[in-house]
């Protein structure tokens, strides 16, 4: 392992990419501490800490947003919106590309079309930044977290929205620079850096709350459950990231003169977790709204007809059972994860196109007729493996809530040591290691994932570039 790290820095190009990526992430963390003028930072920190510790719907929203924004909600900074507007815009255009013929045609044009779609994505990011920035500042004003002399000044609002939007656009630029000059997916690396920055705070909270002999404090069983969840998510994430369903593919033989070409046997890899963490992100985002909606409906009906009316009783039932961690809440979240997992493969996986490419290349799946029968088989296999992948994502998503309710452990701790945040970190790290591995193997150096006897294994160590 130590020799592998040495080999990384022996390659000038790879060394430059890694150092550039680390430098860009360092810039992101520096901007994380530049405060927004006019906001009462001390009072905001107290309010956010009380909100997240309360475990209510607003607290769950704040914790979910903090994971994907880099954890900048406890103190409003110029990077307060994080990179999520850019990711949201990218997802919107990716989905619209399957629904709008004009965007689908641009996608099929190759690099030129993708460049045009990226330009539209940037414009959409700016629009989302303006809307989300104004909404965040309006929330701060409603909580009286903005100094009155600033809140009454229209120029301050223009400046504040411009700062938040500029911070998000700057993060978008950093992500694109990492894609171009660094290594790894830029937006994912920024999200991972924000999540990792919160893990030491979670560990410190565990240490301060550990007292086996006191009621309401963490005991040995709680620590064991946290550690088990931590290692389970890491091991499971690694397994599901690299797991594939290999479909055997036979290449047809071609006779030219006296020579026979083709006939090789290969495999078509189908990823079990094709959607990655996107189904969890979509499901978690949608599950924020039902608790808020049922809570507001119950309050309105109770104020107008009384808390004992039929409508109030029904609304109260849904309000209780759709609170975070309740049974119906977990069931609904699991169903949404399954829905978005299958929706994602519907958008991203095209069995008809894959079958057509196999036929044009002179390849076929043994025992299946090329064409519609092959496409039907690929779709059936993908649906089956997606069921397993979605089940794992659902288990990871509900694990922090289950540990929080059963062990009475703060949700701010469980979400970092077992759940969506840790799943994102592991997935991004695996992608990063695979890219480093590819660079090392290309130059006959030993990598992290190579085995003895394989190319890039120990007998190749120290090979010159």
Which single residue is written with the structure tokens 């059963």?
406
Strand partners, 339: none
Please tell me which residue, 409 or 169, carries the higher pLDDT value: 169
What b/e string do you get for 160-186 counting C-beta neighbours within 10 Å, with b at 16 or more? bbebbbebbbbbbebbebbeeebbbbb
Segment 94-115, tens digit of pLDDT: 778 777 888 888 877 877 888 8
Please tell me which residue, 102 or 324, carries the higher pLDDT value: 102
Confidence of residue 421 (pLDDT cuts 50, 70, 90): confident
Instruction: Determine the pLDDT at residue 126.
Output: 92
Q: What is the DSSP letter of 459?
A: G
Tokens of 127: 């629009």
The mean pLDDT value for 342-354 works out to: 83
Q: What is the DSSP pairing of strand 244-251 with strand 363-364? A: antiparallel
Q: Is the pLDDT of residue 416 over 70?
A: no
Most confident region among 126-130, 219-223, 359-363, 426-430 by mean pLDDT: 126-130
Q: What is the DSSP letter of 217?
A: S
Segment 15-31, tens digit of pLDDT: 888 899 999 999 888 88
Tokens of 117: 């779609």
Instruction: Give the orientation angle of helix 220-242 with respect to helix 372-407, to 10 degrees.
Output: 170
Tokens of 153: 């000044």
Q: Is the pLDDT of residue 461 over 60?
A: no
212 by Cβ neighbours in 10 Å (0-12 / 13-18 / 19+) ranks as exposed
Instruction: Determine the pLDDT at residue 132.
Output: 85
The mean pLDDT value for 120-141 works out to: 87
Instruction: Determine the pLDDT at residue 387.
Output: 92
The two most distant CA atoms of the chain are separated, in Å, by: 91
pTM of the model: 0.76
Query: What DSSP element (H or E) covers 314?
Result: helix 310-321
CA distances from 11 to 14, 350, 438, 445, 454 (A): 5, 38, 13, 9, 20
Query: Out of 72-76, 371-375, 413-417, which region has the weakest mean confidence (pLDDT)?
Result: 72-76
Q: Is the pLDDT of residue 148 over 70?
A: yes
Query: Out of 19-23, 66-70, 117-121, which region has the weakest mean confidence (pLDDT)?
Result: 66-70
Average pLDDT, the chain: 79
Q: Is the pLDDT of residue 460 over 50?
A: no
Instruction: Determine the pLDDT at residue 75.
Output: 64
Cα–Cα dist 118/123, whole Å: 9
Yes or no: say if 414 and 237 are a contact pair by the CB < 8 Å rule.
Answer: no
Segment 427-451, tens digit of pLDDT: 888 888 888 888 787 766 666 665 5
- The percent of residues in the chain predicted with pLDDT above 90, rounded, is 7
Segment 268-290, tens digit of pLDDT: 888 888 877 778 877 876 777 78
Most confident region among 47-51, 133-137, 448-452 by mean pLDDT: 133-137
Instruction: Determine the pLDDT at residue 60.
Output: 56
Is the C-alpha dihedral spanning 401, 405, 410, 413 positive or negative?
Answer: negative
Q: Is the pLDDT of residue 294 over 50?
A: yes
Most confident region among 73-77, 182-186, 278-282, 416-420 by mean pLDDT: 182-186
Instruction: Determine the pLDDT at residue 227.
Output: 80
Q: Is the pLDDT of residue 198 over 50?
A: yes
Tokens of 252: 């047809």
Instruction: Determine the pLDDT at residue 23.
Output: 92
φ, ψ at 318 (rounded to 5°):
-70, -30
């Amino acid at each position: 392992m130590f020799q592998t790290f040495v080999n990384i820095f022996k390659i000038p190009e790879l060394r430059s990419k890694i150092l550039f990526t680390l430098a860009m992430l360092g810039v992101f963390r520096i901007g994380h501490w530049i405060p927004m003028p006019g906001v009462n930072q001390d009072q905001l920190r107290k309010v956010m800490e009380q909100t997240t510790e309360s475990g209510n719907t607003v607290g769950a929203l704040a914790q979910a947003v903090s994971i994907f924004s880099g954890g900048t909600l406890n103190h409003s900074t110029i990077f307060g919106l994080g990179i999520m507007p850019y990711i949201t815009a990218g997802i919107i255009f990716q989905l619209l590309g399957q629904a709008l013929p004009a965007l689908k045609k641009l996608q099929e044009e190759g690099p030129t079309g993708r460049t045009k779609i990226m330009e539209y994505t940037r414009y959409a990011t700016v629009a989302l930044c303006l809307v989300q920035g104004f909404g965040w500042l309006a929330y701060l004003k409603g909580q009286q977290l903005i100094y009155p002399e600033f809140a009454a000044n229209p120029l301050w609002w223009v400046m504040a929205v411009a700062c938040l939007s500029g911070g998000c656009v700057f993060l978008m630029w950093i992500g694109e620079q990492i894609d171009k000059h660094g290594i790894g997916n830029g937006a994912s690396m920024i999200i991972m850096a924000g999540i990792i920055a919160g893990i030491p705070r979670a560990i410190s909270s565990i240490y301060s709350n550990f007292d086996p002999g006191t009621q309401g404090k963490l005991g040995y069983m709680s620590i064991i459950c946290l550690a088990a969840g931590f290692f389970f998510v890491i091991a499971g994430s690694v397994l599901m990231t690299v797991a594939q369903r290999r479909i055997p593919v036979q290449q047809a033989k071609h006779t030219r003169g006296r020579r026979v070409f083709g006939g090789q046997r290969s495999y078509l890899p189908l990823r079990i977790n094709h959607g990655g963490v996107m189904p969890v992100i979509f499901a978690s985002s949608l599950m924020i709204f039902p608790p808020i909606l049922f809570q507001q409906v119950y309050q309105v009906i109770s104020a107008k007809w009384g808390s004992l009316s039929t409508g109030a009783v029904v609304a109260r039932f849904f309000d209780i059972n759709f609170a975070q961690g309740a049974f119906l809440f977990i069931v609904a979240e699991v169903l949404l994860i399954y829905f978005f997992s299958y929706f994602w493969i519907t958008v991203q996986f095209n069995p008809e196109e894959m079958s057509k490419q196999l036929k044009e290349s002179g390849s076929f799946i043994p025992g299946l007729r090329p064409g519609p029968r092959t496409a039907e088989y690929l779709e059936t296999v993908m649906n089956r493996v997606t069921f397993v992948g979605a089940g794992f994502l659902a288990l990871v998503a509900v694990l922090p809530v289950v540990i929080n309710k059963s062990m009475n452990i703060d949700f701010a701790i469980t979400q970092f040591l077992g759940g969506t945040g840790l799943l994102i970190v592991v997935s991004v790290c695996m992608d990063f290691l695979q890219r480093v591995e590819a660079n090392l193997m290309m130059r006959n150096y030993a990598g992290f994932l190579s085995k003895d006897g394989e190319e890039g294994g120990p007998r190749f160590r120290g090979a010159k570039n």
